[in-house]
A and B are shown apart, each in its own frame.
Chain A
Amino acid sequence: MKRILLGCFIGLLVITLTGCWDYRPLDEDFMITGLGIDHSLGDESKLEVTVFGVAYTEQDHTLSGQGSSISEAISEIQDKTEKFLSFSHIQILLISKSVAKKGISSIIDVMLRDSQVRNFINVALVDGRVSDFLQKGKEYPVTGSTFEALLKSADLGFPNQLLHLETLAMNLYSGASGFILPILKIDKVSRIISLKGFGVFKRDRFLEEIDRKQMIGFLLLMQRLEYANLTIGTINLDNPDQRVYSVKIKAASTHVRVVIDKDQPTFIYDLGFSGALLEKNPVPLGGISADEIKRIESELTEELKKSMLNVLRKIQKDQIEPFGLGEYARVYWPKGYKEAQWEEQFSKAKIETNIQVNLVFYGQTL
């Protein structure tokens, strides 16, 4: 009997003492789903934090606060509502380009320190005022699901983790030279939010924008491209024989080799892709010949190579190395590799590509 009583007592303790004593009803919570950080309008020394969220029995709404630090700005937001700000449902963190130009490491650090904020929230830059992106207009404000839909609009596949808070932290704390984040834009009239491009960072500072095509090259150099839709050629009404075709390529194999010649490394990318022909103009009424397939494959190869080298030239000029080639240099070029000078060494490094595209699906035209 004593044991049963003791067991019941312990069971009761587990229920009553493990957090329920200070529980908060759901209708007292302001569940933040999107959080944005910008400079204060007219005062760049201050930060403006905007939160968008859901409060029980009320409509979705947006609140902003200002302060010298993120915590101070959040305190100001808390003063504006009787609801308790809950950060555990944040799906996206938006940062304005002007803030990102001055460095985002302090923002990432604050987010990681808060145990409520999940590590896998998405992070993106915005072109314009952050508060515009977190207002409910014709379009729903940017949240996790809308953000993923926006990324899909780029017809570009890469691991989701690349844009997670966690990956940013890993890049920043491990001293990575650079990384990328998507940039969103908003149409001032229709208030429709769309993907503008991608932002390249040097250390923790936003450096420059690249477009979708360059992003393909960037991801190839990072060995992170999963799939991409490519269109080659343009429609020329004066010339009906002008060829246009769209292809979906999928990464099949990626490998980087390092060849040392005269104490200088050459990085060789061996990339393999399988592809599917989505559209072709003029329509191949008599079927697609083997020669035609070979020609498409070779043009695709050239296109991918061009996009890689274009990005490479740009990045080498900026003296950043966001592709992780430093690890290869450290291992395979130990005599020459110097960690402190790697960005400079990389700017002069030779990079070659060996790309193979294999079109495996031509569609089901019968």
Chain B
Amino acid sequence: MNRPPHSMSLHASQFAMMLIGCTVGIGPLFIARIATVASGRDAWIVFLIYLAIILCNSLIMVQLAKRFPKQTFVQYVPELVGTWIGKCIGFILIVLGILTIAVTMKILSYIIATYVLLKTPMDMFNVIILMLLIYLVMFDLRVMGRLATGLFFVSFLFSYFYIPPVNDYGNVLLLMPFFENGWQGIWKGLGAILFSLSGLELFLTYYPYVDDKRNMRKYFIWSILFVGLLFEISLFTQQLVYPLKYLAHLWAPSIHYISIVEFPVFERTDAIFTIFWFTVLFKTAAVYMYHSVISIQQVFQVHQKRIIVFLVAVLGFAVTKMIGNAADIEKWMIYVLTANVGLSLILPSLLLMIAKFRRKGLAG
């Protein structure tokens, strides 16, 4: 397999920005409620454990990707597990990619239609977002990398609101006692928050397109730590402010938090937060769209990018029509993102073992 053309290459730092954007994506909006419903006051501890697991898994992913430095995941999977099973895995990844685009768009349009532009039909947002996505994905990967970098600096200026200061109602007692529900609560919580770090699996798709692979592991780990810290602080702060029963009642605690906390200097923080979130979710959808297009091209050996981009867009739009109200959005979100993370937790270890056993790839 030849090395991708220069226009299809990224710097490791650009890739890290892309990864941060799409991993932050949807999770922080809901994690405080979902995690505390599952494991009560220990939710913030559960996330720390989850982060440690993900970090270990990321090292396995790096090892696997290093063996096939010029191939994407869907290209080398058939070499390891056989053509048909490999193609099936590739197909599952494509389906999950399209579902993720749909869920991301639906959440984005739902939030805007609920909090900002109340009267606008959600389909209008979906159409506009899709048009922007098509326009972006038609360009080469480096454009996406530059955009991701730009949006990172713009959007994460606003992470000030995402990690807000504790207001008058913060109470340390709400976090105590630690390990209240023991390991049973921790396990339950781990299962519930799996969805939150969806996006890291894209490392395996984008790895061959990264120029400076020597820095890749460093940037990958740093991006996970950055996202993990953001999640952890968000979760911790909201647990500190909201009583458990009230957290269980809030659909998107992060949005609620922004609307009730009075910040110094800035006014209408909810509007600013919406802009921040728009850029983050748009980036998520874009990165997944590119991933889906690349995967379709490689699994089905099709080279006409334009048709595939439109096909993915139409499919994504069709799926958004199947997703209904807020409860439905959440159900889809948890299923799809958990499947993403589940695959990225199980497959790399298995495939690395197979690669070592069958002596496939560079190290073999």
- Chain A positions near chain B (C-beta within 8 angstroms): 6, 10, 13-14, 17-19, 22, 115-116, 119-120, 159, 161, 164, 166-167, 169-170, 173-176, 324, 327-328, 330-331, 334
Bound-state Cα–Cα, A176 to B127, Å: 44
- Please give me the 3 A-B residue pairs with the lowest Cβ-Cβ distance, nearest first: A174-B243, A174-B246, A19-B117
Let me know if B114 is at the binding interface, CB within 8 A: yes
Bound-state Cα–Cα, A13 to B176, Å: 51
Measured between beta carbons, the chain A residues less than 8 angstroms from B327 are none
Taking CB atoms and an 8 Å cut-off, the chain B residues in 165-200 that contact chain A are 167-169, 171, 173-174, 176-177
Measured between beta carbons, the chain A residues less than 8 angstroms from B114 are 115
**Shortest beta-carbon distance from B246 to chain A in Å:** 4
Instruction: Give the dominant DSSP class at B's interface.
Output: helix
B260 in contact with A173 (CB, 8 Å): no
Cross-chain pairs A/B with CB under 8 angstroms, 6 sampled: A10-B132, A18-B117, A161-B169, A174-B244, A174-B246, A176-B243
**Shortest beta-carbon distance from B1 to chain A in Å:** 32
**Shortest beta-carbon distance from B325 to chain A in Å:** 13
Measured between beta carbons, the chain B residues less than 8 angstroms from A18 are 117, 120, 124-125, 128
Instruction: Give the dominant DSSP class at A's interface.
Output: helix
Taking CB atoms and an 8 Å cut-off, the chain B residues in 103-142 that contact chain A are 114-115, 117-120, 124-125, 127-128, 131-132, 135
**Shortest beta-carbon distance from B343 to chain A in Å:** 34
B173 in contact with A166 (CB, 8 Å): no
Let me know if B358 is at the binding interface, CB within 8 A: no
Measured between beta carbons, the chain A residues less than 8 angstroms from B115 are 115
**Shortest beta-carbon distance from B242 to chain A in Å:** 7
Q: Given A19-B120, A327-B173, A331-B173 in contact, is the A175-B245 Cβ separation under 8 Å? A: yes
B168 in contact with A17 (CB, 8 Å): no
**Shortest beta-carbon distance from A14 to chain B in Å:** 6
Measured between beta carbons, the chain B residues less than 8 angstroms from A119 are 259-260
Which of B120, B124, B168, B177 has a CB less than 8 Å from the CB of A159? B168
B120 in contact with A17 (CB, 8 Å): yes
Which of B124, B167, B245 has a CB less than 8 Å from the CB of A173? B245
Interface centre among A19, A161, A167, A169 (most CB of B within 10 A): A19
A14 in contact with B243 (CB, 8 Å): no
B243 in contact with A10 (CB, 8 Å): no
A327 in contact with B242 (CB, 8 Å): no
Which of A17, A115, A170, A331 has a CB less than 8 Å from the CB of B246? A170
B124 in contact with A161 (CB, 8 Å): no
A6 in contact with B135 (CB, 8 Å): yes
Measured between beta carbons, the chain A residues less than 8 angstroms from B244 are 174
Q: Given A119-B259, A166-B260, A174-B246 in contact, is the A331-B118 Cβ separation under 8 Å? A: no
Let me know if B214 is at the binding interface, CB within 8 A: no
Of all chain B residues, which has the CB nearest A162? B168
Measured between beta carbons, the chain B residues less than 8 angstroms from A167 are 169
B260 in contact with A19 (CB, 8 Å): no
Measured between beta carbons, the chain B residues less than 8 angstroms from A174 are 242-246, 249
**Shortest beta-carbon distance from A3 to chain B in Å:** 8
Bound-state Cα–Cα, A164 to B244, Å: 20
Bound-state Cα–Cα, A170 to B260, Å: 11
Of all chain A residues, which has the CB nearest B175? A331
Q: Given A10-B135, A170-B246, A174-B245 in contact, is the A17-B124 Cβ separation under 8 Å? A: yes
Bound-state Cα–Cα, A167 to B259, Å: 12
A327 in contact with B171 (CB, 8 Å): yes
Bound-state Cα–Cα, A119 to B244, Å: 20
A331 in contact with B245 (CB, 8 Å): no
Measured between beta carbons, the chain B residues less than 8 angstroms from A13 are 127-128, 131
Measured between beta carbons, the chain A residues less than 8 angstroms from B249 are 173-174
A161 in contact with B168 (CB, 8 Å): yes
**Shortest beta-carbon distance from A163 to chain B in Å:** 13
Measured between beta carbons, the chain A residues less than 8 angstroms from B120 are 17-19
Measured between beta carbons, the chain A residues less than 8 angstroms from B246 are 169-170, 173-174
Measured between beta carbons, the chain A residues less than 8 angstroms from B245 are 173-175
